[in-house]
Amino acid sequence: MLEFCEKCGSMLRPSKDSEDHVLICKICNNVVEVSEEIEDSYTFHKEIDHQKEIKI
């Protein structure tokens, strides 16, 4: 399901930077909290940068 910005009409995208589940407009920076009814439509994941080599 696509969500669109109420301010400018652009497509909203899931935020990669936020701990909360929000959708952000890349045009006007409008932030919309994801409602429970559309939360299942999106996959939120957080990338973890692991160190390849740990020196002790």
DSSP 10-47: PBEEE-SS-SS-EEEETTT--EEEPPHHHHTTS-----
Q: Which residue has the tokens 């973890």?
A: 48
| CATH number of the domain residue 32 falls in | 2.20.70
Total number of domains constituting the chain: 1
Q: Considering the domain boundaries, does residue 48 fall inside one?
A: no
Range of the domain at 8: 1-42
Inform me whether the pLDDT recorded for 43 exceeds 80: no
Q: What percent of the chain has pLDDT over 70?
A: 64
CA–CA separation, 24 vs 41, rounded Å?
Answer: 16
Q: Is the pTM of this model over 0.75?
A: no
Q: Considering the domain boundaries, does residue 55 fall inside one?
A: no
Q: Considering the domain boundaries, does residue 30 fall inside one?
A: yes
Q: Considering the domain boundaries, does residue 21 fall inside one?
A: yes
- Six token digits for residue 7: 């301010």
Q: Considering the domain boundaries, does residue 47 fall inside one?
A: no
Q: Considering the domain boundaries, does residue 11 fall inside one?
A: yes
First vs last C-alpha separation in the chain: 48
- Six token digits for residue 35: 């409602």
Question: Model confidence at 37, in pLDDT bands (50, 70, 90)?
Answer: confident
